[in-house]
Structure 1
Amino acid sequence: MLDVPDLEEFCALAERDPVVNVFALHRARMTRLEPRWLGGEMWGRFEAGRLVSACHVGANLVPVQATEDDARAFAERALAGTRTATTIVGPHEAVRTFWNGVAASWGRPRETRWMQPHLEISGPPQVAPDPQVRRTERADLDEVYPACVAMYTEEVGVSPETGGSADLYRARVTQLIARGWSFARFDAGRLVFKAEVACASSGAAQVQGVWVPPDRRGEGLAAAGMAAVVAAVQETIAPVVSLYVNEWNHPARRTYERVGFVETARFSTVMF
């Protein structure tokens, strides 16, 4: 298990692909790999005393620079304990190999999404940003929070409030607003587009939660809204903006392509 003295070496490893590894970099720098703040563990695999791969193990299990051999080794390590992860997510080959190693013991997942395009944009957006998109404020919470619940439920298939988790999820939404990581457009006080930055490092920021109410889809709100988010994030948070999208979500993929995102990898997600 990696700890505070391993932080520099871990960050050097993750920086080999700082956009794909932005979640792990964000978590490492926020917590300095202290287990009490990490809310889990960061496993490392060494060869000749050198860190060659890692795996974030908490509610999200995320391989970092893991080859198939590394992923198999992490799966063997995982089988020695109890599953804590509700989601396995990361580059496709590493996730697939890890899952094949633990599937017989971890039980049937609620859903698997195997070939999710991972998209990036490092230049200016290719459509005009919506000037009405802005960072949200605490006073917007009564509009932002229900939209976040609706988006999550539509995307994941269960409500984030399930099992008495409403207070925790509301706190997360409030935290993103406070950080300046929540963006939205309002028409006559009603939220009609939203997106959040999920995690960020000095080199990249990952966007999540892109959503337009069903009755306002098809108006171009998502493309112009995402262009505004990209421009704001690049100006104030990180030079590269990334996200990953379900392979079957062709309308979203077309929107991101219009904005200027390009595919750089494939992710996979296993959800429990």
Structure 2
Amino acid sequence: MNYTKFHNGNSMPSVGLGVFRVENNDVAKDAVKHAIQSGYRSIDAAFIYGNEVKVGEGIAEGIKAANITREDLFITSKIWIDDYGKDNVQKAYEKSVNLLGLDYLDLYLMHWPGTDLDLLLNTWEGMENLYNLQLVKNIGVSNFNIDHLEILINQANVKPVLNQVEFHPYLTQTELRNYLSKHNIKMESWSPLMNAEILQDETVNRIAKEINKSPAQVIIRWNIDHDVITIPKSVTPSRIEENFEVFNFSLNDDQIKRLDALNENKRIGPNPAEFNG
């Protein structure tokens, strides 16, 4: 297991389980439990996913089954745009914590920047209050582009530890990655497998054959080799295990370059400059 260190001295696992578009039922619970039993220590949730109750049950059962403690895990959730505003942040945070059945979160993110930049800054003040009160271990953002980050960093007292964004070989986000690196903010990728679309790519499959790994393992390793934290989603036990077996190999420079060359600036999610919930 690899860990990535934040600018505040805390760290998080470089690979975790995503639960976007998983129903709030035993499928979610069992996926989270199996991931923890398989060695995952990071679970990425969000209020808007509507499945925090079952994800929380999976966390509780996973802790028991793996014979670990809550402190061994790194749990993320996110505040949705409807709850933005400095005075709403703590309420929204406590709602997620309660739904998950936890006492605290390791990371809380603003889910999207939104189009109201004053509201963005006002909400970040609430995030800072949460952090300063030591109710949450780390705070960060999701889907922020450079313009959003410039506005935030110029006003913030506490810099985000992380920006979770869309990132895969068809959207390599080089400029954003360089910006984040310069400001010592970590990048994390959501939906790194593009809902399995990238797994059909010829170059990805050729590299997978070269190193005798699966296409998914190639993509997840490509994230790690770019120092990008990643949270592939799966509810299939064998895939959950496969996606985690990425720490015993690396891609060589040529393979990384070939994957980087696939960039088309293609998004599968909304444009962060325009999306408002």
Q: Answer yes or no: same fold by TM over 0.5.
A: no
TM-score, length-scaled by structure 1: 0.34
Higher relative contact order by CA 8 Å / sep ≥ 6: 1 or 2?
1
Greater fraction of residues in helix: 2
